[in-house]
Amino acid sequence: MKIEKELLILAREHHVSLVLANRVINTVASKNQAEISALCLNINKYFAESFKDHFETEETLILYPLMSIDKNSEDICKRLIKEHNDLIYLSSSLADKPELLLEFGQLLRQHTRAEDREIFPNITALSRKQLQAIAESSEKHKRIEEFF
């Protein structure tokens, strides 16, 4: 799939999300409690803050605008917004509830793939001005790969 140039930063961040999701799932499968605990603490410490700008860009500049343009995308957009909140909640809970780690990893992987497969291909419904706003907002994001 060709990625619009305005989405390249978000796409790179999605790659980081998928790498993190796979790391989480593999770490849980290893049953290594020290690694599980360390990963829970790292995600708890960095995820919400690191992905805050990413989620805000997606919600304000992609998901809400798509809902207003294409009523067929309303359900998926609402679900993805809810999942942003769920991911923040889960990541913020991991220090005290490491048993949520697998749920976090699975949701992160499923969520990222849904955005890549169901939202990014429809991005051309947005205007050039809207696409430019996505690019400009994305350029201000912190580099998230350094935390995970």
In tens digits, the chain (148 residues) has pLDDT values of: 677 889 999 999 999 999 999 999 999 999 999 999 999 999 999 999 999 999 999 999 999 999 999 989 999 999 999 999 999 999 999 999 999 999 999 999 999 999 999 999 999 899 999 999 999 999 998 777 766 6
Residue 148 lies in a domain: no
Q: What is the pLDDT of residue 146?
A: 64
Is 137:61 a contact under the CB 8 Å cutoff?
Answer: yes
Which CATH number characterizes residue 26's domain? 1.20.120.520
Q: What is the pLDDT of residue 23?
A: 98
The domain in which residue 46 lies consists of: 5-141
Can you say whether residue 127 is alpha, beta or left, with left for phi > 0 and alpha for psi between -120 and 50 degrees?
beta
Q: What is the pLDDT of residue 144?
A: 77
Count of the separate structural domains present in the chain: 1
Residue 94 lies in a domain: yes
Is 123:4 a contact under the CB 8 Å cutoff?
Answer: yes
Residue 48 lies in a domain: yes
Is 82:58 a contact under the CB 8 Å cutoff?
Answer: no
Residue 146 lies in a domain: no
The one-letter amino acid code at 134 reads I
